[in-house]
Amino acid sequence: MSFDKIILATHNQGKIAEMREMLKPLGIAVSSAAELNLPDVEETGTTFEENAKLKAEQLSALSGLPCLADDSGLCVDALDGRPGVYSARYAPNRDFDKGMQMLLDELSATKDTERKAHFSCVMAFARPDEKTQVFEGRVDGRIAQAKKGSGGFGYDPIFVPDEGDGRSFAEFDGAEKNKISHRGRALRKFLEYLQK
């Protein structure tokens, strides 16, 4: 690949830290949209893929640089897949403590066996004058009865992955989480694409 710098189309510090850590071995410099004073792109799509492509293509066009964008969210079976693409906006003013409490309240009468959920992530990689590439990742789990842990970000304290040992994502360290997370899986597909 003939580039040494990528823009991450996000202002979310948690995402920036996670993705920077995973891209470090490739020796590619990573800047965020926030660091380059690029705007937040409005997510007007109705799917994760539409939103990821919108952000990557707009910021790549604005900057003239390769851009990696993701759209991800929490999909809860008992809520017909909500909050889904509206996960960040479901939390009032992006206050995830309030968002998690709202979600727990909505599920208060739901049995443990009916609290299945998954995190989904779609990453889009756009470069000027090239076809945008798309990479997907997913992790299945369930919604806990209460928040647990202080790590991670977003809805991590209430999500317990099936592949774990009963801890929430907020109780995993970064390396553990990246191995099985939706974003980790999508990013590994992106890394494989870069190395081809």
Cβ atoms of residues 129 and 123 within 8 Å: no
Cβ contacts of 174-177, under 8 Å, gap ≥ 24: 174/17, 174/18, 174/21, 177/18, 177/151, 177/152
Q: For the chain, give the number of residues.
A: 196
Q: Given 4, 40, 70, 71, which residue is catalytic?
A: 71
Is 71 marked active-site?
yes
**Helix or strand holding residue 155 (H, E):** none
- What three-state secondary structure class fits 168? coil
**Helix or strand holding residue 16 (H, E):** helix 13-23
| Residues identified as active-site | 71
